[in-house]
Protein backbone atom coordinates (compact mmCIF):
# COMPACT_ATOMS: atom_id res chain seq x y z
CA UNK A 1 0.00 0.00 0.00
CA UNK A 2 1.31 3.45 -0.89
CA UNK A 3 2.25 5.79 1.96
CA UNK A 4 -0.14 8.50 0.77
CA UNK A 5 -3.08 6.08 1.12
CA UNK A 6 -2.06 5.35 4.71
CA UNK A 7 -1.99 9.10 5.39
CA UNK A 8 -5.42 9.45 3.78
CA UNK A 9 -6.91 6.65 5.92
CA UNK A 10 -5.33 8.25 9.00
CA UNK A 11 -6.84 11.65 8.06
CA UNK A 12 -10.31 10.16 7.64
CA UNK A 13 -10.03 8.26 10.93
CA UNK A 14 -8.86 11.34 12.82
CA UNK A 15 -11.61 13.41 11.20
CA UNK A 16 -14.30 10.96 12.32
CA UNK A 17 -12.96 10.85 15.88
CA UNK A 18 -12.81 14.69 15.91
CA UNK A 19 -16.46 14.89 14.95
CA UNK A 20 -17.32 12.59 17.84
CA UNK A 21 -15.15 14.33 20.46
CA UNK A 22 -14.86 18.00 19.35
CA UNK A 23 -11.35 18.39 20.81
CA UNK A 24 -10.05 20.55 17.91
CA UNK A 25 -6.71 18.78 18.24
CA UNK A 26 -7.67 15.67 16.28
CA UNK A 27 -9.19 17.72 13.46
CA UNK A 28 -5.97 19.66 13.10
CA UNK A 29 -4.03 16.39 13.04
CA UNK A 30 -6.42 15.14 10.34
CA UNK A 31 -5.59 18.23 8.27
CA UNK A 32 -1.88 17.55 8.81
CA UNK A 33 -2.38 13.95 7.65
CA UNK A 34 -4.14 15.26 4.52
CA UNK A 35 -1.14 17.49 3.82
CA UNK A 36 1.15 14.48 4.18
CA UNK A 37 -1.14 12.47 1.86
CA UNK A 38 -0.94 15.23 -0.75
CA UNK A 39 2.84 15.31 -0.47
CA UNK A 40 2.93 11.54 -0.96
CA UNK A 41 0.49 11.70 -3.88
CA UNK A 42 2.77 14.10 -5.76
CA UNK A 43 5.65 11.67 -5.31
CA UNK A 44 7.68 13.11 -2.44
CA UNK A 45 9.51 10.59 -0.21
CA UNK A 46 8.17 9.42 3.15
CA UNK A 47 10.66 11.66 5.01
CA UNK A 48 9.18 14.75 3.31
CA UNK A 49 5.67 13.51 4.15
CA UNK A 50 6.60 13.14 7.83
CA UNK A 51 8.16 16.62 7.86
CA UNK A 52 5.01 18.04 6.21
CA UNK A 53 2.79 16.27 8.72
CA UNK A 54 4.86 17.45 11.69
CA UNK A 55 5.09 21.05 10.50
CA UNK A 56 1.37 21.28 9.72
CA UNK A 57 0.40 19.61 13.00
CA UNK A 58 2.67 21.91 15.02
CA UNK A 59 1.37 25.02 13.25
CA UNK A 60 -2.22 23.92 13.80
CA UNK A 61 -1.83 22.96 17.43
CA UNK A 62 0.27 25.96 18.47
CA UNK A 63 -1.25 28.68 16.27
CA UNK A 64 -4.78 27.74 15.21
CA UNK A 65 -6.08 25.76 18.21
CA UNK A 66 -5.61 28.58 20.77
CA UNK A 67 -7.52 30.97 18.48
CA UNK A 68 -10.34 28.47 18.09
CA UNK A 69 -10.56 27.85 21.84
CA UNK A 70 -10.54 31.59 22.58
CA UNK A 71 -13.42 32.13 20.14
CA UNK A 72 -15.44 29.36 21.78
CA UNK A 73 -14.83 30.73 25.28
CA UNK A 74 -15.96 34.26 24.37
CA UNK A 75 -19.45 33.43 25.54
CA UNK A 76 -22.34 35.87 25.74
CA UNK A 77 -20.35 39.09 25.18
CA UNK A 78 -20.75 38.66 21.43
CA UNK A 79 -24.21 40.17 21.01
CA UNK A 80 -25.80 40.55 17.60
CA UNK A 81 -29.07 41.56 16.02
CA UNK A 82 -31.67 43.26 18.21
CA UNK A 83 -29.81 42.15 21.35
CA UNK A 84 -26.83 44.32 20.32
CA UNK A 85 -29.04 47.43 20.29
CA UNK A 86 -29.79 47.28 24.02
CA UNK A 87 -27.80 50.02 25.76
CA UNK A 88 -27.40 52.07 22.59
CA UNK A 89 -28.42 55.68 22.27
CA UNK A 90 -30.96 57.04 19.80
CA UNK A 91 -32.70 60.30 18.87
CA UNK A 92 -36.47 60.82 19.04
CA UNK A 93 -37.98 61.53 15.59
CA UNK A 94 -41.63 61.46 16.67
CA UNK A 95 -42.78 62.07 20.25
CA UNK A 96 -42.41 58.91 22.33
CA UNK A 97 -44.88 57.98 25.07
CA UNK A 98 -45.87 54.75 26.79
CA UNK A 99 -47.60 53.45 23.65
CA UNK A 100 -45.88 54.75 20.53
CA UNK A 101 -43.26 56.93 18.91
CA UNK A 102 -40.31 56.80 16.46
CA UNK A 103 -36.57 57.01 17.06
CA UNK A 104 -33.43 56.88 14.96
CA UNK A 105 -31.25 54.06 16.25
CA UNK A 106 -27.99 52.87 14.65
CA UNK A 107 -28.88 54.64 11.41
CA UNK A 108 -32.36 53.10 11.17
CA UNK A 109 -35.81 54.34 12.08
CA UNK A 110 -37.47 52.26 14.81
CA UNK A 111 -40.87 52.28 16.43
CA UNK A 112 -40.44 53.03 20.11
CA UNK A 113 -42.27 53.33 23.39
CA UNK A 114 -41.17 54.71 26.73
CA UNK A 115 -40.63 52.25 29.56
CA UNK A 116 -42.32 54.80 31.88
CA UNK A 117 -45.93 54.95 30.64
CA UNK A 118 -46.48 58.37 32.24
CA UNK A 119 -43.50 60.00 30.52
CA UNK A 120 -43.58 61.78 27.15
CA UNK A 121 -40.23 62.25 25.38
CA UNK A 122 -40.10 65.18 22.93
CA UNK A 123 -38.66 65.20 19.39
CA UNK A 124 -34.87 65.65 19.34
CA UNK A 125 -34.29 64.18 22.81
CA UNK A 126 -31.64 61.49 23.26
CA UNK A 127 -32.86 58.17 24.58
CA UNK A 128 -31.23 54.94 25.69
CA UNK A 129 -32.61 51.57 24.61
CA UNK A 130 -33.58 49.48 27.63
CA UNK A 131 -34.86 46.47 25.66
CA UNK A 132 -36.13 45.41 22.26
CA UNK A 133 -39.71 44.12 22.29
CA UNK A 134 -40.38 42.59 18.87
CA UNK A 135 -39.84 45.46 16.43
CA UNK A 136 -40.21 48.15 19.09
CA UNK A 137 -37.40 49.73 21.06
CA UNK A 138 -38.30 50.30 24.69
CA UNK A 139 -36.51 53.52 25.68
CA UNK A 140 -35.88 55.97 28.47
CA UNK A 141 -34.71 59.58 28.14
CA UNK A 142 -30.95 59.85 28.60
CA UNK A 143 -30.95 62.86 30.96
CA UNK A 144 -33.53 61.18 33.19
CA UNK A 145 -31.35 58.14 33.82
CA UNK A 146 -29.93 58.07 37.34
CA UNK A 147 -26.14 58.47 37.35
CA UNK A 148 -26.04 59.09 33.60
CA UNK A 149 -25.79 56.11 31.28
CA UNK A 150 -22.53 55.29 29.53
CA UNK A 151 -22.21 57.00 26.15
CA UNK A 152 -23.05 54.80 23.16
CA UNK A 153 -23.08 56.37 19.74
CA UNK A 154 -25.69 55.40 17.21
- The pLDDT score that the predictor gives to residue 125 is 93
User: Of 144, 147, 127, whose CA–CA distance to 136 is shortest?
Assistant: 127
Give the Å distances, CA to CA, from 95 to 16, 18, 41, 52, 142: 59, 56, 71, 66, 15
Task: Please tell me whether the overall predicted TM-score, pTM, comes out greater than 0.85 for this model.
Answer: no
Helices of type H across 42-132: 46-59, 65-72
- The residue among 151 and 24 whose pLDDT is bigger is 24
- In this predicted structure, the answer to whether residue 6 has a pLDDT above a threshold of 60 is yes
Using the predicted structure, report yes or no on whether residue 101 has a pLDDT greater than 90.
Answer: yes
Q: What is the pLDDT of residues 113-133, one digit of tens each?
A: 999 988 999 999 999 999 988
Q: pLDDT tens digits for 132-149? A: 888 899 999 987 655 544
**Please, which pLDDT band fits residue 69 given cuts at 50, 70 and 90?**
confident
Averaged confidence pLDDT in the chain: 87
Amino acid sequence: MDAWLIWLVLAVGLGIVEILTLTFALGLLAVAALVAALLGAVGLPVAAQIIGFTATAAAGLYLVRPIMRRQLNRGPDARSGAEALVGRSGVVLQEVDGDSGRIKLSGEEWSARCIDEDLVIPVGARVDVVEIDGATAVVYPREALPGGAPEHTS
